[in-house]
């Protein structure tokens, strides 16, 4: 479903736009305390207070991708240079056929290259990028100077969510009759 917005059936959507960082953090904390999990916060910068205090995000699995990529790259670099040297053993400059110190350079460069590319793949997989679905739950102010929170809730809990969000003085509170998966 790359090109259509993913609906969350039977849910209602709320988008609250906040002007202040602390009210956003408080709203997120209140939502978490009320048992909401799958909501999204929007910010114009990687604000640690929001990510760590407000949403309690912990480790990112991207680091596993970096490590795996780097190790694969180093192994590939050594394997490639060693295999090609063994494939046609030809002594040049009186050096051993397997000149490990010379191959360290190539293994190192491959480690960096593979590590960097797999970090990007890890980021794309974990962050869900590229994301060309219609931007239904978004506000352009969130790349400028404001923060946002998007929550979906079944009708039974809609009133409680509305109450939590409006108690933190949002600059704008938008309600979608249908909730979206973001």
Binding site for other proteins (CB under 8 A): 19-23, 40-47, 49-51, 55, 57, 60, 62-63, 66, 70, 81, 84-85, 87-88, 90, 92-93, 95, 99, 102-103, 105-106, 108-110, 112-113, 115-117, 119-120, 122-123, 126-133, 135, 138, 140-145, 169, 182
Cβ neighbors of 95 (< 8 A, separation 6 or more) are: 102
**Is 22 buried (19+), middle (13-18) or exposed (0-12) by CB count in 10 A?**
middle
153: tokens are 């809730």
21-33 vs 155-167: helix crossing angle, rounded to 10:
150
Between 95 and 159, CB nearer to other proteins: 95
**Is 87 buried (19+), middle (13-18) or exposed (0-12) by CB count in 10 A?**
exposed
Distance of CA 99 to the CA centre of its chain: 41
- Least distance to other proteins from the beta carbon of 154, Å? 22
- Least distance to other proteins from the beta carbon of 178, Å? 18
Between 145 and 177, CB nearer to other proteins: 145
- Least distance to other proteins from the beta carbon of 72, Å? 13
Between 93 and 155, CB nearer to other proteins: 93
129: tokens are 């990028």
Between 45 and 159, CB nearer to other proteins: 45
């Amino acid at each position: 479903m790359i090109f259509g917005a993913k609906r969350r059936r039977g849910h209602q959507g709320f988008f609250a736009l906040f002007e202040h960082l602390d009210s956003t953090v408080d709203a997120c904390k209140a939502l978490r305390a009320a048992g909401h999990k799958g909501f999204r916060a929007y910010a114009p910068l990687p604000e640690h207070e929001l990510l760590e205090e407000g949403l309690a995000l912990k480790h990112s699995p991207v680091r596993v991708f970096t490590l795996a990529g780097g190790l694969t790259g180093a192994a590939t670099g050594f394997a490639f240079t060693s295999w090609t040297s063994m494939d046609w053993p030809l002594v040049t400059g009186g050096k051993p056929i397997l000149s490990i110190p010379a191959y360290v350079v190539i293994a190192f460069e491959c480690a960096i290259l593979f590590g960097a590319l797999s970090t990007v793949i890890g980021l794309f997989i974990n962050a869900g990028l590229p994301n060309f679905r219609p931007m239904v739950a978004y506000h352009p102010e969130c790349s400028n100077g404001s923060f946002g929170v998007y929550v979906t809730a079944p009708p039974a809990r809609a009133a409680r969510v509305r109450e939590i969000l409006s108690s933190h003085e949002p600059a704008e509170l938008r309600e979608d009759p249908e909730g979206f998966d973001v």
